[in-house]
Amino acid sequence: MEAQNGAGGGAPVVLNVYDLTPMNNYLYWFGLGVFHSGIEVHGMEYGFGAHEFPTSGVFEVEPKSCPGFIYRRSVWMGTTDLSRAEFRSFIENLAGKYNGNTYHLISKNCNHFTDDVCKNLTRKSIPGWVNRLARVGSFFNCLLPEGIQVSTVRHVPTHPAFSDDDMDSVSSSVIGDSDLEELDQHLLPSTADVHSIDVPPKLAKDLL
């Protein structure tokens, strides 16, 4: 892992990066590649994935174990003074900005989400190489295949990876429609989906 423990205390904030294609083994050394990323805080990893419904696409999994992707490396981003409960409130509030049906490979992907989390928690952006494809694509979108230009990547993990208590909270508060049950096993509720949750004042201003 490209990191060392923080000297100032607090909970570590770690970016976990995954390969989306075996071609990354070659592209990576040229500063290129197609990557998924998740942000690890308080022992769980949080990511953003696509589905076709207007509800949160933010999910949680065990660190470095996101289904469907190949773990590559971790990058130390810093620490946060938020407690576990404060962070949970923060991430559920942020999830309201990241509905699954708004995911887009170029303009609003998993790396935009982790960058948003990092900026809020550590005041740092994720490394540029992690989301370089999106930045290049925003300028040269006409050169990308049509399917990438107009569609989203539909990938949300589909089996539970957290505690029964967390599962009860998610299943009772996210979506009641049976069509969504297989999609929301990892999904976090957002304050927009359910009810208002207080956010620590030091972060509330960053979410406006």
* 110 classed as catalytic: yes
- Give me 64's structure tokens: 């470095």
Nearest CA to 42 out of 78, 3, 4, 87 is that of 87
- Cβ within 8 Å of residue 141, ≥6 positions away: 106, 149
Buried b (16+ CB within 10 A) or exposed e, 138-170: eeeeeeeeeeeeeebbebbbeeebbeeebeebb
Laid out side by side, the sheet with 58-61 consists of 58-61, 44-48, 35-41, 11-19, 70-80
42 is catalytic: no
- Which of 51, 66, 110, 112 is catalytic? The answer is 110
How far is it, in rounded angstroms, from Cα 191 to Cα 180? Answer: 18
130: its two tokens: 């992690």
- Residues with a catalytic annotation lie at 36, 110
